[in-house]
Amino acid sequence: MRLPGIFLICTVALLAGCAGYHIGPVNGAVAGERSVEVFPFNNQTLQPRLGDAVTQALRERLQTDGTYHLDTQGAGDVVVTGVITRYNRVGVAYLNTDATTAQSYRVNITAHVVARERATGRTLLDKDVTGYTLVTVGADLASAERQAAPQLAEDLAQNIAELITEGAW
């Protein structure tokens, strides 16, 4: 007699825990109903190839999310443009033997992102968005930063995609 009662309690608790969850877009839109076009990001920093990495990461993130259909033919309902304005690193861990030599850095990237409706020109998003990653220096800092660039671009793309898909404008 105790087993069915315990099973019933567990089932009710499980269903109650999932009551607030729903599948699909959280902004009230129908998945894939509208399309988005992502123009290549302009890189105004001295770090090479960041614009391409961020553009590609954002396109992949939006395609994976599914809230918008990714349009590559130039007729998206929403047009996203961006300018990478800042790239900096801050030491977070230093060598035991030398307190001025950083062993790990936090690398930050900031982009000004604008999303507009193509038909009306209405601005949906006009905001600075930041992403970061941690870099551990191995043989040299330049190699470590180059290897960390995809993770940095992915973090920024995730933050941008979240703002676009969740309608946080």
- The span from the CA of 165 to the CA of 126, in Å, is 14
- The span from the CA of 53 to the CA of 120, in Å, is 29
DSSP 121: -
* The pLDDT of residue 57 is above 70: yes
The pLDDT, as a whole number, for residue 169 is 45
Quickly state the pLDDT bin for 37 (edges 50, 70, 90).
very high
* CATH code of the domain made up of 31-165: 3.30.160.150
Mapping DSSP to helix (H, G, I), strand (E, B) and coil, where does residue 114 land? strand
* The pLDDT of residue 142 is above 50: yes
pTM of the model: 0.80
Residue 81 tokens read as 């443009």
- The span from the CA of 165 to the CA of 37, in Å, is 13
The pLDDT, as a whole number, for residue 89 is 93
* The pLDDT of residue 56 is above 80: yes
From 30-34, 51-55, 64-68, 102-106, the region with the lowest mean pLDDT: 30-34
The pLDDT, as a whole number, for residue 18 is 57
The pLDDT, as a whole number, for residue 102 is 85
- Report the chain's mean pLDDT, rounded to a whole number: 85
